[in-house]
Amino acid sequence: GWKDAINTTIINFNNEKMQITWKARELFPGENVSFSYTFDEGKHKVWKSCPTYLLDQDYSSGCLFKTEGPTLAISIRNSNGSKELFSKRLKSDFYIKPNRPENVTFFWKEDTVTVSCNTPERVVKCLRLELQYKSNFDKDWQSRTSKCCNVGEQGFDPRKCYSFRVRLKRLVPYCNVVDYSSDWEAETFWMNGTLLDSCGDDMKSESNTVIVLICLLAVLLMIFILLILLCKWQRLQKLVMPAIPDPKYVFADLFNDHNGNFQEWIDKTDHAIVQAKIEYEEPECIEAESQQENEKNSDKQERQEKVFSFSRAAENNDPKAAQIACLMPTSNTTASFAGFQVLMNDDMYVML
């Protein structure tokens, strides 16, 4: 009974080739065993030697041969074939591993994706088409299985990039005693119905956009902080070191009209100040004269005429005369104007 308990791996590749392997170093240490097989039944079996051995460190560990029927018998013997070490009968159809799906097509409409492939020539009822997909934001694959050879799924976001892969599976236990599936068809990348070379490009573009936005925000924040610091520094600088006024702007006429000649500028400025003062004070003097005229008697007509004579002199741009005209003395008075001593009484004015 131990002969049937030996663990072997049996694969029927699309019912075209058989591969049977065993653990040589564990089961038959230090011994090169021989393998033979037959697809015949009954007493007249024709055993065939293994055409292609699989080796594990120079020891035979398997055999690869053509599939010739549904019923298979195998035998493992010692190196010279005199002793049988293992034998088994099996149904080769229960160990089929299908080929990859052929001519896979994708149809994307709105949020639904439909995948289809060519229908195999044999045993279609035992096959299922499996679709796996994930977006660039998912870590694990999501799976959807349907009858061969068409499968569809809904809920796809057109703004995301998806990876798709498909394969064929054999039904267990109705068709296979081992759960064999085909190898995965080449992975493809789709986004909103458009085939892409890779989802990495989409992720890279999004990553670059995020990096640019972050850098832009960082630059704006730094500029804002620098402006605040600059304003505070200017305020601090004004408090610690007040600005010295520039005489060029305070005395614009000194530099613009007189080219910095202070004596020329001060002479003209003094004359303009005296002139402006006379023009400003003259109406008051005239008003004072009018009031005094109403109060004076007719015997002081001569004094009034003298005052008016000085007023006319002031109109002729004589500042000293104007200053004297503004004085309406009622008694003997001595005054000083612009370096002159003026003695005044009721009848005359003497300038010393």
Cα–Cα distance, 103 to 100 (Å, whole number): 10
pLDDT higher than threshold 50 for residue 33: yes
pLDDT higher than threshold 80 for residue 313: no
Question: Which of 39-53, 243-257, 325-339 shows the lowest mean pLDDT across its residues?
Answer: 325-339
Question: Is the bond preceding residue 148 a cis peptide, omega within 30 degrees?
Answer: no
More confident residue, 120 or 254: 120
Q: Which residues contact 63 (CB under 8 A, 6 or more apart)?
A: 19, 20, 21, 35, 37, 50, 51, 52, 53, 54
Report pLDDT digits (tens) over 255-279: 666 666 767 777 776 655 555 555 5
- Nearest to 105, CA basis, from 20, 195, 172: 195
Q: What is the pLDDT of residue 256?
A: 67
Angle, helices 262-295 vs 301-315, to 10°: value is 150
More confident residue, 291 or 59: 59
Cα–Cα distance, 163 to 329 (Å, whole number): 115
Cα–Cα distance, 3 to 7 (Å, whole number): 9
Q: What is the pLDDT of residue 270?
A: 64
Across 128-153, average pLDDT:
90
* Cα–Cα distance list, 317 to 111, 311, 321 (Å): 101, 10, 9
Report pLDDT digits (tens) over 202-224: 555 556 677 888 998 999 999 98
Q: What is the pLDDT of residue 315?
A: 47
**pLDDT bucket at 227, cuts 50 / 70 / 90:** confident
Cα–Cα distance, 134 to 161 (Å, whole number): 9
pLDDT higher than threshold 50 for residue 336: no
The b/e string for 284-293 (b: 16+ C-beta within 10 A; e otherwise) is: ebeeebeeee
Q: What is the pLDDT of residue 344?
A: 46
* Cα dihedral sign, 273-274-279-281: positive
- Nearest to 120, CA basis, from 93, 100, 139: 100
**Collapsing DSSP states into helix, strand and coil, what is residue 123?**
coil
Cα–Cα distance, 276 to 145 (Å, whole number): 107
Report the chain's mean pLDDT, rounded to a whole number. Answer: 76
Question: Above pLDDT 90, what percent of the chain?
Answer: 28
pLDDT higher than threshold 60 for residue 110: yes
pLDDT higher than threshold 60 for residue 334: no
**pLDDT bucket at 51, cuts 50 / 70 / 90:** very high
Q: What is the pLDDT of residue 200?
A: 72
